[in-house]
Structure 1
């Protein structure tokens, strides 16, 4: 087992005790000595990078990571920079201090602070209207409610702790879903189940969220961030252009295509260029014995096409 795996295993076991320090500690380990770190939005957003993975943390634990205007702007900026950074392939979004995000800061709403209502770019929660080209994984612990649920739904995958709670808690205060909740939730769980959560504002616990498809993975308490990083590292193993092309085709089929034929046409045109770039080399690796029997370490074995006979 590598030093990285040993360190991550320790983090998984002791994740709850480490709490909000988890990402900071893992990136201070010897193998992360070159990780990039920064704080944005008056310190309310933490950004850390290492070996192709960007960790973005909402850092308002005293507010259960409710998002205010500076935090929303900082979140959007962080994801825009991640999207533009060719060295970073996957992002992990998490909340500092035991909660993912409890929504928008209602103190600002009560004080009539203007909320961004622009059709593109920043939504009230930050990146909810931004279309990143690369996968984002939500590491969900504690509460992910109201706008916090919308942020989690914006992500491609959701690694959810068994004690986490989700829900449209803004229902009771007359705050509408304007960060994609009414768009993404029915796309993920279907109209009937989406309306169950949206109309009632009830809580949905992790086990039910997994059964409904809101949670992609259910993990032990205190391990969401570590497991999300592990999942991100697994995605790094794959040929990236092919993975991103398939991701784009999925979102086009769900949100943009007007018909089955239109979706199939887009899939064809979007996928074909990848064949010459990655598929041919992948096929040669397969013929050479790489990646068979469910093994995914394609980038750690020699390329048979370049090997000497």
Structure 2
């Protein structure tokens, strides 16, 4: 289940997802985490007053925003409950493929001492964990904490573009690949078992999506790295 690692008081909403995809809206000068993030003023101007979490559907993509700017989007019990509800709804809705999680405050996460070394290596992780120092956008990009750096005010827009692109791909294949990558990184006891997991979960996808995908490719789609 996609929400199996969700805790009541802290939004652990990134690496836990197995069946669907979360795209994260990221801004510069974040502490070293891989979770909820920041956006600039104006990106969530439509947020409803009084609601701690706001959502909006855009085709097969849903945005989920933390809306507590007065406390820098600190996550209290009510906000955590609402996040859980919205992401559980996303996870069980067959018409939704990607969720974009965003907010304007400092993100919170536990398990950082476990996940961070695997993401960026032990040496860099210890530097950040032991000093607690903030890092800028370019350093985060170099470390692998951020995948993209965009101009101020464009984080949510860029995340939505990425979400729509991901949502347009064959979903069974995409989710099987993501699940295999997560398993090999966090759960597989050996390389051999990780490879076996990939095969076991990939064969059904090949059988169900390969013919349609090959037909599309034969028409020229996807050749040379171009998908449109």
TM-score by length of 2: 0.78
- 1:204 paired residue number: 135
Distance 1:79 1:180 in 2: 20
- 2:44 paired residue number: 20
Structure 1 unmatched runs, 5+: 1-14, 26-38, 103-143, 151-178, 298-309
1:187 aligns with 2:118: yes
Please list, as runs of the form range in 1=range in 2, the aligned pairs for 1:1-309 lying within 5 A after superposition.
18-21=42-45, 24=46, 43-95=51-103, 99=104, 101-102=105-106, 144=107, 147=108, 150=109, 179-297=110-228
Shift of 1:18: 2.8
Shift of 1:195: 1.1
Do 1:54 and 1:92's aligned partners in 2 also have CA atoms closer than 8 Å?
A: yes
Distance 2:136 2:169 in 1: 32
Residue 47 of structure 1: SS of its match in structure 2? strand
Distance 2:133 2:97 in 1: 35
Do 2:141 and 2:148's aligned partners in 1 also have CA atoms closer than 8 Å?
A: yes
- Which structure has more relative contact order (CA 8 Å, sep 6+)? It is 2
Do 1:53 and 1:92's aligned partners in 2 also have CA atoms closer than 8 Å?
A: yes
Do 2:43 and 2:156's aligned partners in 1 also have CA atoms closer than 8 Å?
A: no
Distance 2:189 2:40 in 1: 46
Distance 1:268 1:180 in 2: 29
Structure 2 unmatched runs, 5+: 1-38
Shift of 1:17: 6.5
Question: Rg: which structure is higher?
Answer: 1
Q: Could you list the runs of 4 or more consecutive aligned residues of structure 1 that deviate by over 4 angstroms after TM superposition?
A: none
Shift of 1:290: 2.9
Residue 17 to residue 62, structure 1, CA distance change in 2 (3 Å):
closer
Output one character per residue of 1:212-254: Cα deviation in whole Å (capped at 9) or x when no partner.
0000111001110000001101112211100000000000000
CA RMSD after TM alignment: 2.0
**Structure richer in strand, relative to its length:** 1
Distance 1:248 1:223 in 2: 29
Do 1:239 and 1:278's aligned partners in 2 also have CA atoms closer than 8 Å?
A: yes
Distance 1:209 1:61 in 2: 24
Distance 1:62 1:43 in 2: 12
Aligned length: 190
Distance 1:68 1:94 in 2: 16
